[in-house]
Structure 1
Amino acid sequence: MKDIILVLAPTKSQQIEAIKNIATDYEVLLQDELEEADAERVRIIYGWNNSDDFKALAATFSNLKWVQAISAGVDYIPDQIKTSNDIYVTNASGIHAIPISETVFAYILASNRNLFYSQIAQTKNEWDKPDPTSFKSLTGKSILVYGAGNIGEEIARLAKAFRMNTIGVNTSGKEREHFDQMFALEKSQGAISQADYIVNALPATELTNDLFDQSFFNEMKESALFINIGRGQAVDEEALKKALEEDKIAGAYLDVFKTEPLPADSPLWQLKNLLISPHITGVVEHFRDEIFPIFEENLVHFMQHHEPIRNIVESDKGY
């Protein structure tokens, strides 16, 4: 019996054929084609299914050697897989930078140019002009990005086109392209009060749990916006709710949450100065074409050397 490549990621028919042509000694199955009896033959997984039923089934994949995630963050993949010395986990770091960065500026520009105000007025058939002093320009404003990786650098690159000041935070404080200033994470507190816009693009790690807490929001300007396109566990949601209700900050945009989907009874839904999007900032129309080359390159290498070569996640870091 052949080992199995289990395809869970969105794929085109020609991509499935490419997998079969590269891995001729493997059987390629979609999830609905997999039987429980096949569990011990699953060696490679392309994509992931975060349902409890699948995670329980995946725990029986005793021959599993490699999981190719289709996201940059892999916090949703079970720890027993991520921390195993016998299983490789690779991510899709790099492919989401452009759509996520564009969404960040969609949030900012819509707020600065009062588009939400005009949309509400339109639903009432009202020709209602906002207060002229509420319109803002990005020129000279400062954006602080936590996570100066591929996504963070693309955010900073776009920010420079708007003639903004760019401040970045990473674990080391090492200089990165398009950032005017860089801070190490543990030394970044002084940068908070400088920023007009703060973006979280950090992965989920023990260091980032509830990083954005009440003391953090207390340091922000009252006119500043907070944007989270990283991971939900980084934000103390109760502290953010309090900061928004008390107008300690001007507003927030959240695409990720500690619990997803966000429960219908969450008080976050009712906040007038918070916009919620359902974890969609990385979505783009040609997503399948963007992610597949990473898997394809890794698959070719795996067939030859029994290991992937690109975007390997370090188990001790989580990214």
Structure 2
Amino acid sequence: MKALFTYNYGEEKMNAIEKLGYEIMVINEKDIAYTEDMKDVEVLICYDPFFTLDIGRMENLKWIQLSSTGIDQVPKEIVKENNITLTNNRGGYSIPIGEWIVLKILEIFKSSYKLYQQQKQRQWKIDTSLLELYRKKIGFIGTGSIATEAAKRLQGFEAHSIGVNTRGEKLKYFDKCYPIEQLDEVLKVSDVVVLTIPYTDKTHHLINKEKLQMMKKNAVFINISRGSIVDEEALIQHLQEGNFKGAALDVFEVEPLLKDSPLWDMDNVIITPHNSWISEMKNERIFRIIYENMKRYIENQPLVNQVDIEKGY
């Protein structure tokens, strides 16, 4: 059985895949384009080769394993038309992103950026605006593995984690969960709003001018999901009007963030370059999922992290 990898996970790991019974091709994702020797590839392990790789020409392709959680890069019509199974890396980046969320909440509550700037200027000036995380309400819009890992870590601060999911299903580490129909209630009471919901047609610009105005004026706003879940122009205007104690943004509607975006110059905005998922363990965790699924696939067992292409997650 032939498998195409667009990333080399190292000799030891690739040998382990071959021992399962696969013939492996490895082509760097940046250089990939369809060639005739891909005609009999049955399994594709990748992140986003779809701009240059026409998977519609891969007649034998049966399964795509993504190294990402999001699937918006995937040519969905081809996947549906050719009945290709799609699996993702759900849970693979949840721990570092969960840590990142807690870090950014604390950085904003403790005015770290402002104090670092004072340090550079050798300025000794006490900042009396610092806040405690203790007993603050952290509203997670989306309660998947990323939100769960963040909520788990917030327990140590005795913060109150509340979540929004499809049916209001109660989950471990959350004090209470609400159905998506009660999103407005959560936005109104949250001291921190964290976007961890998948991007779909239904969640495009879920956070718009109206929703932003529902939030507390001094709330903290965090987005690690997808930039297009937020109406970025409305967010910029909201921040320019003096709202929010701070915002931490790891994702944007256009990436890289345009150099003329007003977000760059805002003192109460922390910008990171879609970087929250990075850690020294990233390849270890994604490979565990890849190996487990490739073992299951060759043994005709159900795959983990299967994606519903219609729902988008």
Fold match (TM-score > 0.5): yes
Report what 2:287 is aligned to.
292
Contact 1:68 1:89 (8 Å CA) reproduced: yes
Q: Distance in 1 between matches of 2:184 and 2:200?
A: 19
Which one of the candidate residues 172, 175, 198 is aligned to 2:193? 198
Contact 2:50 2:74 (8 Å CA) reproduced: no
Give the 3-state SS of the residue equivalent to 1:166 in structure 2.
strand
Contact 2:7 2:27 (8 Å CA) reproduced: no
Report what 1:69 is aligned to.
66
1:8 matched to 2:3? The reply is no
1:119 matched to 2:113? The reply is no
- For 1:227-306, what aligned pairs fall within 5 Å after superposition? 227-305=222-300
Using the TM superposition, give the Cα deviation of residue 10 of structure 1 relative to its aligned residue in structure 2, in angstroms.
5.1
Give the 3-state SS of the residue equivalent to 1:199 in structure 2.
strand
More divergent stretch after superposition (217-226 vs 114-123): 114-123
Report what 1:315 is aligned to.
309
Report what 1:153 is aligned to.
148
Corresponding letter in the other structure for 2:56: A
Extract unaligned runs of 5+ from structure 2.
none
Report what 1:136 is aligned to.
131
Which one of the candidate residues 6, 18, 21 is aligned to 1:20? 18
Q: Distance in 2 between matches of 1:27 and 1:167?
A: 45
Report what 2:45 is aligned to.
46
Residues 62-106 of structure 1: per-residue CA shift (max 9 Å, x gap): 221111111211111111244346201101111211100100111
TM-score using structure 1 length = 0.92
Corresponding letter in the other structure for 2:64: V
Report what 1:107 is aligned to.
104
Using the TM superposition, give the Cα deviation of residue 238 of structure 1 relative to its aligned residue in structure 2, in angstroms.
0.5
- Deviation >6 Å, runs of 4+: none
More divergent stretch after superposition (121-130 vs 179-188): 121-130
TM-score using structure 2 length = 0.93
Using the TM superposition, give the Cα deviation of residue 60 of structure 1 relative to its aligned residue in structure 2, in angstroms.
2.1
Residues 149-198 of structure 1: per-residue CA shift (max 9 Å, x gap): 11111121122211111110001111111111111112221121111100
Distance 1:262 1:60, change over 3 A: farther
Q: Distance in 2 between matches of 1:309 and 1:79?
A: 19
Residues 122-173 of structure 1: per-residue CA shift (max 9 Å, x gap): 221222322x2x0111111100001111111112112221111111000111
Q: Distance in 2 between matches of 1:268 and 1:274?
A: 7
Report what 2:161 is aligned to.
166
Q: Compute the RMSD of aligned alpha carbons.
A: 1.8
Give the 3-state SS of the residue equivalent to 2:44 in structure 1.
strand
Q: Distance in 2 between matches of 1:47 and 1:299?
A: 13
* Percent of aligned positions that are identical: 32
Distance 1:257 1:83, change over 3 A: farther
Q: Distance in 1 between matches of 2:45 and 2:175?
A: 38
Using the TM superposition, give the Cα deviation of residue 250 of structure 1 relative to its aligned residue in structure 2, in angstroms.
2.1
Q: Distance in 1 between matches of 2:32 and 2:264?
A: 39
Distance 1:79 1:35, change over 3 A: closer
Report what 2:213 is aligned to.
218
